[in-house]
Amino acid sequence: MVAADRHEVSRSRRSRAHPAAAVVGYVRVSTEEQGDAGAGLEAQRQAIRAACAARQWSLVAIHQDVASGRSLERRPGLADALAAIAAGEAAGLVVAKLDRLSRSVIDAAQTIEQARREGWNLVALDLGVDFSTAAGEAMAHMTAVFAQLERRLIGERTRAALAVKKAQGVRLGRPPALSLRVRRRIVALHHRGAGWSAIAEQLNRDRVPTAHGGSRWYPATVRAVVTSAAPGLVIGTRSRPPR
């Protein structure tokens, strides 16, 4: 079955599974906007009611959250709205602005994809996202494209920042959990000619805990401590390695 055929089947299933004109609304203000929560939420409700009246949609309910827009987690209002759709009480979700659903383009695109996959409509009034219209569906696809662009830009910025830090000599990864005393001991033994296995055996014999509290040292672990040690770490050690 070609993509166009699958899309038409999805639309027909959606129209059979739900009353076509039934939708739920969702409004949100962030925790930073709590002081103006009443006005902000009411403005969103009015926009949703007006759009539903103009399009002759039956507005089943409007769910709300006072929560950060950075993530879709810990949103009981959004969860209730999606549960109503899953239960067949509505055929779509309406938000006044896409950033009320999420400030992250990636998260918003995931919800758009969920709607497309499960056969229900998502309407964002500010951007014209609406699977029931050709233009709205095209806007939904463009949102997904920009979400992918955001992912790649985040990855590029992260790699560039890590490269700069590495060039500046900043040690990346988790900070060492071993005490300076133990690290100096390991490096001193290595400088005196002890092999990785011999050092590991001595540490195990003396019951020296590993960086994460383990009781067993291995040659590879000892080698990692030595190779990651700062130059001159041995300075200040005694002639006999401390136990």
Known catalytic residues? 30
Euclidean distance between CA atoms 107 and 150, whole angstroms: 11
Burial of residue 155 (CB within 10 Å: 0-12, 13-18, 19+) is exposed
CB-CB contact of 116 with 93 (8 Å):
no
Distances (CA, A) of 222 to 106, 175, 181, 189, 195: 42, 16, 14, 10, 9
Greatest Cα pair distance, the chain, in angstroms, is 87
Centre a 10 Å sphere on the Cβ of residue 35 and count the other Cβ atoms it contains: 9
The DSSP H or E segment spanning 74 is none
Angle at 220 between CA 217 and CA 222, to 5 degrees: 55
